[in-house]
Amino acid sequence: MGQNGGVTSAEPAPADVVLRGEVVTPTEVLPDGAVVLSEGRVAWVGPVAQLPGAWADDLPPDPAPGTTLLPGLVDLHDHGGGGASFPDATTREDALVAVREHLRHGTTSLVASLVTAPRDVLLARAALLADLVESGDLAGIHAEGPFLSVDRCGAQNPADMLAGDPALVADLAAAARGHLVTMTVAPEVPGVADGGPGTDDVLAALVRAGAVPSVGHTDAASERVDAAVARARALLGGGRRSAAAGGGAGRGRSPRPTATHLFNGMRPLHHRDPGPIAACLAAAARGELVVELIADGTHLADGTVRAVFDLVGPGSIALVTDAMAAAGMADGDYRLGPMAVRVGDGVARILEDDGTAGAIAGGTAHLLDVVRAAVGAGVGLVAAVRSAATTPAEVLGRPDLGALVAGRRGDVVVTDGELACVAVYRAGRLVTV
């Protein structure tokens, strides 16, 4: 199966489907709109009054008040869900549990995230997940580490963190068979961002492998982050593959690097020591960087979310879940790689040796929950959806995803007036997993 296949099966494309409701496009909300899916693609989007006659007989009656049509969501940072964890998966079925959990809640394109681990574990997991990218079940692989700051390790094991190693990047990219789409790195770690023209470092190795560098889990000064972002942009822009190439092995998928879950896992912002947060915000405001936000109501205050949207705009923000195995599950004990995690009141935290709760250990929300929380925080619906679909699709170099625009893949999330999921279509098929 190709990228239109996956857990929704490889059956022939279904008959044309006409969906009706408030339609969220990249620029506006159509109050009474329609989306036509044909042969796995979006064939038409617009006001119901302008629906072409060829589909007039297929137009459904007035939907329930508040029915809203969103593009399929694109999550760039997800460690698992439904009780399953990508960093701990040892079989295809293990990983598919998490894929299905997020798919049926509206995430039609999912990047599986690993955590810092020993070399052999990283290579084995990358090889396993690469199979799911090639079957169409995943959109790519994200490695969160191992070149991170021990001082900002968060819910990761500092004992497994390493100095920058371009050879390990190459080995990981080879195990991922060209599907390593991004890696979180701390620019102050030796070997990560040390190189100049004609020299090598992790940033250069990532771009050679077709992956987008992401600044995160860092204690770096703002000047160090500025330099790393500038170097990453130069590398990405110097030999970028065309979007039509599909973003396989080769140069970076996006001309912009990213920042992994801005604020979380970073030195806090201080007016005399701005650190990585100020540098990332400034770069995003200039259009040079995309910042991830876990706007789930737990990782960030509502005012922080609103401020970032006001400062940098949705074109430089990717809403993410950072979800772990407990997404969609009850409170209890879980694992995130080598770390024990306890979830209480829906919040995942590292379980310390003495039984107390430590650092936040990923999210428990689906991406549609994050969109709902962002809107509840005061972000406009169009902006929130753009940041959960269109902008992350751009990071992946996937112009076929992320928007209700004619010609793109037929991925649609139907919600009610509370932005709760009612139905999901992927490549034109109703999701039934």
Q: Give the 3-state secondary structure of the chain.
A: CCCCCCCCCCCCCCCCEEEEEEEECCCCEEEEEEEEEECCEEEEEEEHHHCCHHHHHHCCCCCCCCCEEEECEEEEEECEECCEEHHHCCCHHHHHHHHHHHHCCCEEEEEEEEECCCHHHHHHHHHHHHHHHHCCCCCEEEEECCCCCHHHCCCCCHHHCCCCCHHHHHHHHHHCCCCEEEEEECCCCCCCCCCCCCCCCHHHHHHHCCCEEEECCECCCHHHHHHHHHHHHHHHHHCCCCHHHCCCCCCCCCCCCEECCCCCCECCCECCECHHHHHHHHHHHCCCCEEEECCCCCCCCHHHHHHHHHHHCHHHEEECCCECCCCCCCCEEEEECCEEEEEECCEEEEECCCCCEEEECCECCCHHHHHHHHHHCCCCHHHHHHHHHHHHHHHHCCCCCCCCCCCCECCEEEECCCCCEEEEEECCEECCC
For residue 196 the two structure tokens come to 């100049």
Decide which of 27 and 350 is more confident.
27
- Res 282: pLDDT: 98
**Count of alpha carbons within 13 angstroms of residue 32, beta-carbon side:** 11
Burial class (CB in 10 A: 0-12, 13-18, 19+), 230: middle
Q: Which of 419, 335, 394, 347 is nearest to 105 (CA)?
A: 419
- Res 155: pLDDT: 86
Whether the predicted pLDDT of 264 surpasses 60: yes
pLDDT for 282-293, tens place per residue?
Answer: 999 999 999 999
Burial class (CB in 10 A: 0-12, 13-18, 19+), 315: middle
Whether the predicted pLDDT of 1 surpasses 50: no
For residue 12 the two structure tokens come to 């022939």
Q: Which of 228, 178, 179, 171 is nearest to 204 (CA)?
A: 228
Q: What is the mean pLDDT of residues 9-31?
A: 86
pLDDT for 155-171, tens place per residue?
Answer: 899 999 999 999 999 99
Q: Are residues 428 and 15 in contact, defined by beta-carbon separation less than 8 angstroms?
A: no
For residue 49 the two structure tokens come to 């009054």
Which CATH number is 73-396's, of 3.40.50.2300, 1.10.287.4070, 3.20.20.110, 3.20.20.140? 3.20.20.140
Confidence band of 245 (pLDDT split at 50, 70, 90)? very low
Confidence band of 10 (pLDDT split at 50, 70, 90)? low
Q: Which of 326, 408, 380, 8 is nearest to 155 (CA)?
A: 326
- Res 278: pLDDT: 98
Q: Which residues contact 9 (CB under 8 A, 6 or more apart)?
A: 429
For residue 207 the two structure tokens come to 């771009």
Please identify which residue in the block is written with the tokens 């964890």: 85
- Rounded CA gap, 178 and 183, in Å? 13
Please identify which residue in the block is written with the tokens 């997800």: 78
State the amino acid at position 301 in one-letter form: A
**Count of alpha carbons within 13 angstroms of residue 30, beta-carbon side:** 22
Decide which of 70 and 6 is more confident.
70
Q: How many other C-beta atoms can be found within 10 angstroms of the C-beta atom of residue 163?
A: 12
**Count of alpha carbons within 13 angstroms of residue 74, beta-carbon side:** 28
State the amino acid at position 263 in one-letter form: F
Confidence band of 137 (pLDDT split at 50, 70, 90)? very high
Q: What is the mean pLDDT of residues 123-129?
A: 98
- Rounded CA gap, 415 and 215, in Å? 34
Strands 29-38 and 347-351: unpaired
Whether the predicted pLDDT of 247 surpasses 60: no
| Domain 17-70+408-430 -> CATH class | mainly beta
For the chain, how far is it from start to end, CA to CA, in angstroms? Answer: 17
Extents of the domains making up the chain: 17-70+408-430, 73-396
Q: Are residues 322 and 330 in contact, defined by beta-carbon separation less than 8 angstroms?
A: no
- Res 8: pLDDT: 43
Q: Are residues 249 and 209 in contact, defined by beta-carbon separation less than 8 angstroms?
A: yes
**Count of alpha carbons within 13 angstroms of residue 220, beta-carbon side:** 27
pTM of the model: 0.94
Q: Which of 22, 32, 30 is nearest to 66 (CA)?
A: 22
Confidence band of 5 (pLDDT split at 50, 70, 90)? low
